Amino acid sequence: MKVSRSLTTFLSAATVASFLTVAVTAANAGPPPLTKEEMKKASQIFFDRCAGCHGMLRKGATGPALTPEALKKKGYNTEVLEAFIYNGTPGGMPDWGKQGVLSKSEINLLARFLQHEPPSPPEMSLADMKRSWKVFIPPEKRPKRPQHNLNWKNFFGVILRDVGKVAIVDGDTKKLVNIVDTGFAVHILRSSASGRYMYSIGRDGKATVIDLWLKKPDKVAEVKTCYDARSIDTSKYHGYEDKYAVIGCYWPPSFVVVDGETLEPKKIVSTSSYYYDTQEFVREARVASIVSSHYDPIWVLNIKEAGQVWLVDYSKVDKGTVKIDMIDAERYLHDGGWDLSKRYFLVAANMRNTIVVIDTKDKELEALIKVGTKPHPGRGANIDHPKYGPIWCTGHIGEKRVACIGTDPEGHPEYAWKVVKWFNLPGEGGGNLFIKTHPNSKYLLADRPLNPDPELKRSIFVFDKVTFKLVKTLKIPSKYKNVRAVHEEFNEDGSEFWISVWGKKDYPTAILVYDAKTLKLKKEITGDWVRTPTGKFNVTNTMKDIY
Ligand code: DHE
């Protein structure tokens, strides 16, 4: 029987041997019993915690395949699976048991559930979407100009993930403007081309649009277009500003075009496709990141499992037509962002250790660049470097190196589409999720929330943008216990940056505001409402794609 390397590195040899004896017996028997009630409960836990990486149909993506057949082949029985779920893996799987997120009985339930065929997840029609669609304030009743004197272009939307809310915080005064009820585990926020509207998308597929011009900025419409989603963006091309939004769904695998102001669903397009390389059918080909071109009426959609980038022309969507250029790229596309010129889009094919470059002008694949283990750029960090010219950088979940890639084939052809600079985060291991900079800042910032070391995961590393030398390590003040530092975001003029203190929903934490020149902690935004802050999005930087 074959034992995977990650299992042996994780558990002692004796433990593995005893597991394997049981595993052989289990491999020959049917799946362990599960009542109807247990099946329902386990499906929900799997959906909430596991489907993002392993897929609803468990065919694998960022995480390995977990079909009963795949598990049987590896000889994994209930106890082995329990050990994985409890301890996590060095490859980036969270330690759900150790963290206290899942109890022992939930872990046992999940381990038994995995040995059964996955239940078929439901489909969703336009009529289903329309039933969930609510317009709280119709466009004609919305103000024609801002109804407050606040500098709304410097507002931050802060995701309060586990309490299902988004906080709007004034970037000038750091005062809370409002807390908007958005629903389960919001994943990202994006701004419309004008900046007036802020959109959120939850893991439950619920999209919300917030009007920042209201006297008290609040949601004006919501709709649920899928059961599972991670991305949303808006039409940013001239003449289409604030007109449409597009939601990228994990399940059902699809994208949905909605009206930008009311969120009325207009068009559903299935993204089930064929793996770009083997040309086998993949039902669960999910939409990962989306960006909106400023130069054409197109959205760039990354079809994760298929390994294709779709350029979706939305100019005729009102006539029922969406034109799509499908570009073969690399498998398991995840997150990415524009280069400095916003002609090229760079996206991580994270399980292939590759950055894919798409030329959105010529609508073709520009380059595939090998980087380190499991690149995770967020939207990446753009630097206009004195030697290399414009470069775009990514960190990695699987290692401590940061890779910077030349992005200017015309001005700096010798550096284009090559890793021109590697530099290291201090300490061992990876765990970096987001890096960020701003044109007015001298620094590049990196977090490390997935690193197992308790000190590294509460640190933000500040690097000089020209020399790439570590300038300072910022640590979350020790009064905040059991927390991780996650996601950096600059304010409008780049004079400060904000960091989330990510804890659990049972206790409030903080959003830390640092002076971007002196690197001193300037303000702790606190309050009982500050629970599980994750992503933060400054209106100007998000609407103009500055990172
Ligand atoms: Fe994310 C971006 C998917 C886990 C916080 N995340 C993204 C994007 C995708 C994605 C596809 C790109 C959206 C875009 O740009 O259009 N994320 C997934 C997953 O599938 C995964 C691995 C597991 C899951 O089940 O969700 C996952 N993500 C996480 C987290 O655990 C994080 C840290 C906290 C959370 O919300 O669960 C997290 N992801 C974020 C944030 C962004 C993001 C803050 C936006 C970064 C930005 O600056 O644009």
The CATH number of residue 62's host domain is 1.10.760.10
Name the residue of 101, 160, 230 to mutate for ligand 1: max ligand atoms within 8 A of Cβ.
230
d(CA 214, CA 147): 6
In a domain, 91, yes or no: yes
The SS3 of residue 277 is coil
Ligand 1 centroid to 201 CA: how many Å? 11
In a domain, 310, yes or no: no
Catalytic residue among 56, 187, 334, 404: 334
In a domain, 133, yes or no: no
pTM: 0.92
- Identify the band that residue 24 occupies on the pLDDT scale cut at 50, 70 and 90: very low
Q: Which residue has the higher pLDDT, 25 or 352?
A: 352
Residue 11 reports pLDDT greater than 60: no
- Please list every protein residue whose CB sits less than 6 Å from any atom of ligand 1: 52-53, 62, 161, 187-188, 230-231, 288-290, 334-335, 378-379, 433-434, 486-487, 534-535
| Structural domain boundaries enclosing 93 | 36-114
pLDDT at site 361: 96
d(CA 175, CA 159): 16
In a domain, 81, yes or no: yes
In a domain, 56, yes or no: yes
d(CA 160, CA 157): 10
DSSP run (H or E) holding 409: none
d(CA 70, CA 93): 18
Work out how many domains the chain is built from and give that number.
1
In a domain, 215, yes or no: no
In a domain, 443, yes or no: no
Which atom of ligand 1 lies nearest, measured to the CA of 190? 49
Q: Is 543 a catalytic residue?
A: no
In a domain, 202, yes or no: no
Dihedral sign of CA atoms 225, 231, 237, 242 in order: positive
pLDDT at site 28: 54
User: What are the tens digits of pLDDT across the range 261-316?
Assistant: 999 999 999 999 999 999 999 999 999 999 999 999 999 999 999 999 999 999 99
